Amino acid sequence: MSSWAWLFWLLIHCWCVILQTQGKQWILVDSPSSKEDSSERKLVGHCRDGKKNGDETDTDCGGLKCTKCNDTMRCKNHDDCLSSYCKNKKCSILETCEDNIKNQDELDVDCGGRVCPKCEDQKYCRENCDCLSNTCHNNTCVSAETCKDEIKNQDETDVDCGGSICPKCEDSKKCTSDCDCVGNTACVNNTCVPKCTPECKNDGICVAHNICNCTAGFSGPTCEVQSIGLCHDNDTMGTTPILLVTFDKGAPQFSKTIPGQFNFSTTYKQRFKPTVEDGHFSFINSVYKHYQHAWHTGATDHTGDTGGYMLLVNADFTPGEFYKGQVENLCVGLRYEFSVYLANVLRRTDQIKPNVRFEVRSLSTGNRLLAQLRSGPIPVDKSLQWRKYGLSFTAPSSSVVLLMISDAPGGAGNDIVIDDIALRVCSHDGTGFCPSTEQNDD
């Protein structure tokens, strides 16, 4: 083929276009094979010049003619990027909910927000709806709220208790009403505290269910029993008591008088001769000689008058009442002193020491205990020594019963002499008696 024929053949099968743009030449070649890869960009000219020009979005990439840009290179839309993801005008790895990166609007890695699934426990959150458990606590997804999650949630008043869902709260837990507390406690100052029924009296404190801690001077299940000692000397009015039992006086060593003549009773049996054994008593004006000289022989009464009698009791194994007497027309609200002089008639220290329990009981309300106090063991002395014992009480009713009871069971010893039983009013200018029309029994 001649050179002219070859040139003619090229003119038929090829055509060349020479383009001059910004001082550069572009050569676009079309051939039959171009139809197979027409979707691929054929790079020529400025797509390889190391500069950002033409419609490139970054150096030699992006736009309609050049190759797509790698990650971090500038872009205008997703088509400019190999990753097919343009974000903030830079090509980026395509953000998904499985890329192990906290992106998109995720609250934690691959979870939370509007796009990704809800977060599992211990992941960051802002609201309950960010969590699979639907429970966001302190910006952390936690297990669904229960009454055993050790978190104060739901409508609980304290951790895992109180409110309308969880069990009632125990002692010392927070509350808003009694309904938040277990049955034996009450809500006081927004705290569950023990409840005593009936309530503790006289400033007693309920420390456990139906257990009162009483203030000084009170005792009993609800601190209702007064247990205050004798009045101070300057608190006792005058020297004339409301009640005074001295057991009279006489020449015979053993008096024939019986307790009823002194307006009291005793559970011990009376003897009128020197045979006062266990469980018996006598009115004597001097202590007789006892077996083995165990007693203070010849000791006399406390009153000090010639031939004055005293009550001698040889207590036994069954605690009995030394004295039981009734007093009426007391003034409700006044404080009285119930006292007696006691002595241990024994000389030996190896014997049971007598102990006396003083009680004041209500006459009008079923023998209710109003006041109680114990003397404690009455000491042994080289010679018989009289000591004053008793209690003081505020009268809650106009009629009361006064008692002295043996509080040292046993018959080996436990022998006592009693004298000058008295009832006086404390710190009051009146007589201590109130007319029956003013009585106010409880």
CATH for 294:
2.60.120.200
Residue 204 domain flag: no
Domain count, the chain: 2
Q: Label the pairing between strands 269-270 and 243-245.
A: unpaired
The string of pLDDT tens digits covering residues 3-13 is: 555 455 445 44
Give the chain's mean pLDDT: 85
Residue 90 domain flag: yes
**Can you give the pLDDT at residue 85?**
87
Instruction: Work out the average pLDDT over 124-133.
Output: 91
Domain housing 65:
51-94
Across the chain, how many H-helices and E-strands are there?
1, 23
Query: Among the ranges 24-38, 113-127, 234-248, which has the highest mean pLDDT value?
Result: 113-127
**Greater pLDDT, 6 or 108:** 108
**Can you give the pLDDT at residue 125?**
94
Q: Which of 329, 396, 312 is nearest to 361 (CA)?
A: 396
**Can you give the pLDDT at residue 442?**
46
Residue 129 domain flag: no
What is the torsional sign of CA 122, 126, 131, 134?
Answer: positive
Is-contact 68 79, C-beta < 8 A?
A: yes
* pLDDT confidence band for 386 (50 / 70 / 90): very high
Residue 102 domain flag: no
**Can you give the pLDDT at residue 33?**
40
Residue 271 domain flag: yes
Question: Does residue 440 register a pLDDT over 70?
Answer: no
Instruction: Work out the average pLDDT over 210-232.
Output: 84
**Can you give the pLDDT at residue 234?**
58
**Can you give the pLDDT at residue 389?**
96
Residue 404 domain flag: yes
Angle formed at CA 110 by CA 106 and CA 114, multiple of 5 degrees: 40
Q: For residues 119 and 136, what is the distance between their CA atoms, to the nearest angstrom? A: 10
The string of pLDDT tens digits covering residues 417-435 is: 999 999 998 876 667 778 6
Q: Which tokens sit at 380?
A: 């042994």
Is-contact 60 48, C-beta < 8 A?
A: yes
**Greater pLDDT, 175 or 293:** 175
**Can you give the pLDDT at residue 43?**
56
Q: Which tokens sit at 219?
A: 């005792």
Question: How much of the chain exceeds pLDDT 70, in percent?
Answer: 86
**Can you give the pLDDT at residue 391?**
93
The string of pLDDT tens digits covering residues 59-104 is: 999 999 999 999 899 999 999 999 888 989 999 888 889 888 888 8
Is-contact 425 348, C-beta < 8 A?
A: no
Question: Does residue 25 register a pLDDT over 50?
Answer: no
Residue 172 domain flag: no
Q: For residues 441 and 314, what is the distance between their CA atoms, to the nearest angstrom? A: 37
All residues at 6 or more sequence positions from 162 whose CB lies less than 8 Å from its CB, including other chains: 155, 156, 168, 169, 173, 174, 175, 176, 180, 181
* pLDDT confidence band for 20 (50 / 70 / 90): very low
**Can you give the pLDDT at residue 24?**
37
Give how far Cα 75 sits from Cα of 56, 59, 87, 171, Å. 9, 11, 8, 68
Instruction: Work out the average pLDDT over 389-405.
Output: 93
Give how far Cα 224 sits from Cα of 204, 260, 284, 359, Å. 9, 31, 38, 13
Question: Does residue 30 register a pLDDT over 60?
Answer: no
* pLDDT confidence band for 137 (50 / 70 / 90): confident
Question: Does residue 17 register a pLDDT over 70?
Answer: no
Residue 360 domain flag: yes
Q: Which tokens sit at 72?
A: 């971090």
Strand partners, 400: 327, 362
Q: For residues 221 and 201, what is the distance between their CA atoms, to the nearest angstrom? A: 9
* Number of other residues whose CB lies within 10 A of the CB of residue 6: 10
Scan for tokens 């400025």, then name that residue: 46
